[in-house]
Amino acid sequence: MAGLRGRKNYVQVAIDALNAGDVSTPIEPRGSAAQRKALRALEKLRATLLEERVAHARAIEQNKLAIASVAHDVKTPLALISGYAECLQDGMDDKDYLALITEKTEQLNGLVLKLVETSKHEIDEIDSLKEKVDTRTFLGAVFGKYDQLAKSKNITYKVRHIPSAEIYADRRELERVFQNLVSNAVKYTEEGGKIVVSFGHNGKFFLVRVKDNGKGIEKKNQPYVFDKFFMEESSRTDSKNSGLGLYVAQQIARRHGGEIKVRSKKGKGSVFTVSIPELPDETTPVQRFEQLPKLLKVILMMMFCFIMPWLLRIMRYFESWRPGTLITGLFNFVLWPFIFLYDIWSEILYNKIVLAMD
């Protein structure tokens, strides 16, 4: 630090301020060139620390709000439970107070579960365990689990053909998304209804659609279905419903680079569409050909055997303008297997294809 002798050490002042916890005061670059360079680096560090402090404070505030919301909601059922207990103590029997206490206790349990879910998902600090996943294998296993759930309500449940594609996903988290969508569809579809799961592509995204003909969602409420704690009054009055399912599902979809959209009509049903980015197809044309069904490969090879000799004779005709060449090309419509074998034999013997009429 000999070069700083006789002048103020602005770098040390900035370091002392950061050590004291002052991340609000901007650090100005001043002094010598070396000091200004160091001060700019310290200012960048200060800005990062301030950003982290603000984010941390925001997360704490959100948790406080969630806890305050649950604490407020808990007061009413607790007061009712206390009142029902006093009625029992006084010997009153005009109502089934034990059943009412049980009902309010279940409502309290739902509120506590809401708090637990909020605590688990408010800050996602752990990277999910993502891997390459084949959609046909993975989704076939996932959606095959809900047959019995649908049958329990006499609901027709169909899963359309699943295209094979690769996505980068956390299996456990993504399965939770589809579990939420299908279970909601079953929950809000009357007995004798229908649920159809279909698939598709949209650019670089793989699409999964869960369609039902259930109660549907009011148009005015659709922009809010993925909001935290949202519950549509007319259809989501179950006290065990925390209003977090679709919120968590949307967050998972976004962590995978996609999203969930909804289209719905009250009384007609809903369609929830999940989009997940596909991985680029790295297979070669030969590998893609080998993956085709055997019958399709045979048909393509026969078409190749027919088209190539025919095109060759038409091209040769425009070179020579000899009618015989054109006639041979026309014969190829009927005799193409023999002409194809003739061309191969000609190539082997003469190292070139000798047309039959040349």
DSSP string, 191-234: TT-EEEEEEEEETTEEEEEEEE-SS---GGGGGGTTSTT---TT
Q: Are 265 and 216 in contact (CB under 8 A)?
A: yes
The pLDDT of residue 157 is 95
The Cα–Cα gap between 150 and 193 comes to 9
Residues in Cβ contact with 295 at an 8 Å cutoff, skipping those fewer than 6 apart: none
The pLDDT of residue 343 is 65
For the entire predicted model, the pTM comes to 0.50
- pLDDT exceeds 50 at position 102: yes
The pLDDT of residue 30 is 86
Which of 189, 153, 179 lies closest to 245, judged by CA? 179
- Coil, strand, or helix at residue 133? strand
**Domain regions of the chain by residue span:** 1-123, 131-277, 285-350
Average pLDDT on 181-192 reads: 92
The Cα–Cα gap between 171 and 133 comes to 8
The 10s digit of each residue's pLDDT in 197-207 is 999 999 899 99
Report percent pLDDT > 70 for the chain: 67
Listed in sequence order, the DSSP H helices in the chain are 10-19, 33-89, 97-121, 135-143, 147-151, 171-187, 245-255, 285-290, 294-320, 323-350
- pLDDT exceeds 50 at position 58: yes
Which of 327, 321, 357, 324 lies closest to 342, judged by CA? 357
**Ranges 23-37, 209-223, 287-301, most confident:** 209-223
Confidence label for 3 from pLDDT (cuts 50, 70 and 90): very low
Confidence label for 357 from pLDDT (cuts 50, 70 and 90): very low
Give, in degrees to the nearest 5, the angle at Cα 321 between 314 and 311: 5
Q: Which two tokens stand for residue 138?
A: 């993975």
Give me the sign of the Cα torsion angle 50, 54, 59, 60: positive
CATH for 131-277, among 3.40.50.300, 3.90.50.10, 3.30.565.10, 3.40.30.10? 3.30.565.10
- Average of per-residue pLDDT values in the chain: 77
Average pLDDT on 50-56 reads: 81
